[in-house]
Structure 1
Amino acid sequence: VGEDSAVFDLAKQKISSWVYFTGILGAVLFVLDVGWLDSSTGYGKAFIDAVSTLSESHEVVMLILLLIFATVHSGMASLRDAGESLIGERAYRVLFAGVSLPLAVSTIVYFINHRYDGMQLWQLQSVPGVHELVWISSFISFFLLYPSTFNLLEVAAVDKPKMHLWETGVMRITRHPQMVGQVIWCLAHTIWMGNSVAVAASLGLIGHHLFGVWNGDRRLASRYGEAFEVVKSRTSVIPFAAILDGRQKLPKDYYKEFIRLPYLTITALTLGAYWAHPLMQAASFRLHW
């Protein structure tokens, strides 16, 4: 009933599409830099400064930033059907990304810059095995966090964006991999940092993604009707629950559903993000947000 996730057929790829994708990505990064990140031309610092005036508490500011992002992101996702009918799928994707991306970047940068400014609640970084636990948990979380990499051309609106009803791959384990991945990431990083800012950020992110579980199912049910109910009946929100109670039958060659380019891409990007931590931190510090 559902679609096969993470399929990448090289024979069906067009060089022109990936040229457009590269051009669009470059243009988006340029506009983001000029319109939001650059202190002399962008509005990012003014936005952070405005939110920061609401409270002297980094925890409260962190939660407000997350609330703003979550409201805009989930709100625009909920309005997707109406928006696409008015301006088209590609235009709405551009609008959605154009509004969500600066807010997401602002929230991430603020978190990086203030992640150790809160009250220290525990200190486990020197405990043997904790670093390895956090690293492995974070690695697993990225496999769950970014199913959007299944369709990069749709993300960039090169191909017409669609609302997919995935059923294979990671979806056999959990119907909401982004939520599960976010929970794992939050728990791992909260254990590692052990302070009140990390707790506040984790509560906000987990709350946003738990709402996304309900909202995502609601939107899929509205779009696909009975087909979604069939997929829902043989998948689960809680990881492995449908497998354990027999509703989900894994094929003998299930592992092959992960030996696909999107998952290999996620692996490379996850390792790259880990090694690039110092660069990301330095870039965030230079913004003085």
Structure 2
Amino acid sequence: MAIDLSTRAPRTVPSGYRAGHLARGPRSWSARELLVLSWLAPLLFALAWEAVCRFGGMNEQVMPAPSAVLATAWTLVKDGSLFVHLGYSLLRAATGFLIGGGIGFGLGLIVGFSRLAEALLDRSIQMIRAIPFLALLPLVIVWFGVDEAGKIFLVSLGVLFPIYINTVLGIRQVDPKLLEVAKVTGLSLRGRITKIILPGAMPSILTGVRYALAVAWLALVIAETIATTKGIGFLAMDAREFLQTNVIVLTIVIYAAIGVIADGIARALERRLLAWHPNYAREERR
């Protein structure tokens, strides 16, 4: 016996259920929701830290509460000293980053394009990269004294290697099939470099930039232990002499905040320069 399906009651769709939901799977998170989630863990950590300091009997000389650190920051902002120290540190970091990044990128291009240059340069560069900053500090003082040049040299040296390594890696990882197609179509050497090799290497290069930004601040902390009277590192060293734990914690928070801002700038640069890349284009659409 045949059954007329047209007479059956239509299936009800649950409220709020959108068409195509099953095809897409779980709903995608918006950029604003992801941003809020990314700050959830730091906020919870700060609240827990405040609670432990207030109700857990934590000695303020050992670990001051976030509220005490904010009060110290406000005091330094009002007298203007915080901006002076921050300005000196930012100038040193930016100068060292530009010098070291430019040298690292140039060496990366030379070694990436030439096996002969790799044989001549790469081993020496890797040997220098293995030397810790602290081991170089006495020699840097002998070379440059305690002036700004020594501090900028240490930052430049730290920044150079991440950008160099990632530039070489990015160039070597370009798909050979694309280069073969470029040769067949008669694309010039300059066109192959600007239209295929450098765009293909750009994700790796920008990864090196993000890592180099973090290393720049690490090198700056060490550099500012050399005799100086200005900078966030000096502020921390001076606070240590007087057991001002709240100032020491404040400098750590400042370093962390600058690291987050620098990483955000690097991510924005990635989205702009890699808009052609499907992964970054997908992230832009979310």
Asked which structure has the greater RCO (Cα within 8 Å, sep 6+), the reply is 1
Q: Whose radius of gyration is greater, 1 or 2?
A: 2
TM-score, normalization by structure 2 = 0.34
State the TM-score, normalizing by the size of structure 1.
0.34
